[in-house]
Chains A and B, each alone.
Chain A
Amino acid sequence: MTTTSEVLPEPAAVRPAGLASAISDALVLTERNLIGYVRIPQALFFSTVQPVMFVLLFRYVFGGAIATPGMSYVDYLMPGIFVQTVMFGAVSTSIGLAEDLQKGLVERFRSLPMASSAVLAGRTTADACRNVFVLVLITIVGFLVGFRVHTDALAYLAAFGLMLLFAYALSWGFAIIGLSAPNSETAQLMSFPVLFPLVFASTAFVPAQTMPSWLQPFAEHQPVSVVVNAVRALTQGGPTARWVIPAILWSVGLLVVLMPLAVRRYRRSV
């Protein structure tokens, strides 16, 4: 009998199972997503334009009207901008997954004998890499408009790592949105109602004391404020443990909850 082996290559090697295989799959897909970002540099470039605009807007337009106790407004502002930037970046997780779903790529991946976490892990990891690039860029912009780190490089790196962790956790949440959306445009629209209250009803741009009293408890304790305050403490000085520990707990907590929910949603996705 003639078999396929005469023209097609030898059969696939025996697959390793378990965690090593899941990590390998995730890395292959991370690479795939990163290639996508590199191939369309315009998308990456223009996604950094918005945060730069925010820097300029708050630094030079609104900033004069906002009083910040104990530090200059630009030093107060930049940690908020950093966190806002990685959060807006998390929307790209939902857009990217909605696109893969729409184009039938998810269907193909689901028909392959690969880990069901790999598509999500590959996307969120690629988005974390993207965040590294964007955060470096925004830090440079911050320095250009007068932002300074008043602690040391190590503390800044700790802040950087904390923001990456927080954004990574959020990515898994936005992955759920992406998997639930009928297309990428809707995924983007669905992400904003989640994003806006978290970013703006926070201490990212203005101190909570200026807000109405009913909003203050939320603005002071919600995770974005906690992370922003931790980044402020790490870059500007002051008691760090009070904010950094809750910020880590929030990030890890969100990750532990959102990751399995996202994988479950993926398994059920169309």
Chain B
Amino acid sequence: MAAAIEAERLVKVFSGGVRALDGVSFTVERGTVLGLLGPNGAGKTTCVRVLTTTLVPDAGTAAVHGHDVVTAARQVRESIGLAGQYAAVDENLTGRENLRMIGQLMHIGRRDATRIADELLERFTLTDAADRPARTYSGGMRRRLDIAAALVHRPPVLFLDEPTTGLDPSSRNAVWTLIEELVGLGTTVLLTTQYLEEADRLADRIVVVDRGTVIAEGTAAELKSSLGQTVLDLRFPSPEDAERAHSVLARRPLGAPTRDGTVVSTGIEGGPHEVLEILRSLEEAGVRASTMAVREPSLDDVFLDLTGHRTFADEEKEQR
């Protein structure tokens, strides 16, 4: 059986010459979750749009559920559900009307569409709000309704473009549980996210994109282990000290160091004595750390290593 999603060297160039996708390839096996990660503007959404047939690629091919996204767009559309970045529900319609409308557009028939809408509302704990216009919904309710709308025709492949962006922790958890349930039932999910925790929890495999290309791929564990066994965080009194420490550590053969403000992090392979060596070499260079921590590598570290950005959430904060 063909994989659920197969992308082959996808290229999309927007007017102005921006190469949003510059040869992206990956495969998603049936019944698994792929986390597509990358900073804002990395090409995640463009990729989803190509795979959901709303954008035609300039080069490369892609197949979803065995159908080509360009030549068999209609069959692809029948096999997919899409929940977008902004909860795309009609604010003037009630929750029930929104789901029934999608059902009718899928030609399920008004009566069946109503029944399916009711079942989904129940399942997404929206029954109490079913007859209120969606504009009265909270962010979390809206997002649940949006995902429910993507499930009306029971698609085998589900695309979730940043499904929890902007949600509070408890709503985020509810959405995560929901996705896990769907996957447990055999749905294939492609998930884009800026939250590493989300990818860590949900994704079987992770594809990291930056500037339109895939820069890393693997399970969360594989990506983390690429950084070595342990990470050493050293905090310095000033950014200047941290910069100096960074250049000292950069001379080490292993674990390229990264700097974030006054904190310098580096991977260590060789056990406790290696920490001593590091501290000694800093001492010789005349910089002294104020605090120290040794921890397991996180996906954050992977990102910093790969893209030069700290977490994407941090990046968002900076932009604000």
- Which of A's residues lie within 8 Å of B, judged by CB? 1-13, 15-16, 21, 24-25, 28-29, 31-32, 35-36, 39-40, 103-105, 107-114, 118
Contacts and interface: CB of A to CB of B under 8 A. Distances in A.
A104 B186 CA distance: 27
Interface stretch (B2-10, B90-98, B259-267, B271-279): B90-98
B92 A104 contact: no
B90 A32 contact: yes
A130 B93 CA distance: 18
Contacts of A9: 112, 115-116, 119, 154
B185 A104 contact: no
A24 B86 contact: no
Nearest to B158: A4
B106 A112 contact: yes
Contacts of A105: 88-90
A105 B77 CA distance: 15
A8 B106 contact: no
Contacts of B78: 12, 15, 113
B11 to A, nearest CB: 18
A214 B126 CA distance: 63
A39 B154 contact: no
A13 B108 CA distance: 6
Contacts of B184: 2
A98 B304 CA distance: 38
B166 interface: no
Contacts of A1: 186
7 contacts: A12-B78, A12-B107, A29-B101, A36-B90, A107-B84, A113-B74, A113-B78
A78 to B, nearest CB: 32
Contacts of B88: 103-105, 107-108
Contacts of A16: 107
Q: What class of interface size applies to chain B in its complex with A?
A: 35 or more
Contacts of B311: none
Given A5-B154, A6-B185, A35-B97, A12 B106 contact: yes
B194 interface: no
B160 interface: no
B294 interface: no
Nearest to A100: B90
Nearest 5 Cβ contacts at the A-B interface: A104-B88, A113-B77, A36-B92, A111-B82, A108-B88
B258 interface: no
B156 interface: yes
A25 B153 CA distance: 15
Tell which of B93, B115, B154, B182 has the most Cβ of chain A within 10 Å: B154
A110 B90 contact: no
Interface string B106-146: 11110010011001100100000000010000000000000
A219 to B, nearest CB: 39
Contacts of B77: 111-113
A39 B133 contact: yes
A40 B92 contact: yes
Contacts of A118: 105
B282 interface: no
A152 to B, nearest CB: 40
B154 A12 contact: yes
Contact of A111 (B53, B120, B187): B53
A112 B151 contact: no
B52 interface: yes
Interface in B149-168: 149, 151, 153-154, 156
B85 A104 contact: yes
Given A2-B184, A15-B107, A32-B101, A8 B151 contact: yes
Contacts of A3: 185-186
Contacts of B116: 9
Interface in B60-77: 74, 77
A63 to B, nearest CB: 39
Contacts of B107: 12-13, 15-16, 21, 24
B141 to A, nearest CB: 16
Contacts of B90: 32, 36, 105
A4 B187 contact: yes
B54 interface: yes
Nearest to A24: B107
Given A104-B84, A111-B52, A111-B80, A28 B101 contact: yes
Nearest to B51: A111
Given A6-B185, A112-B77, A12 B82 contact: no
B27 interface: no
Given A9-B116, A9-B119, A103-B88, A4 B154 contact: yes
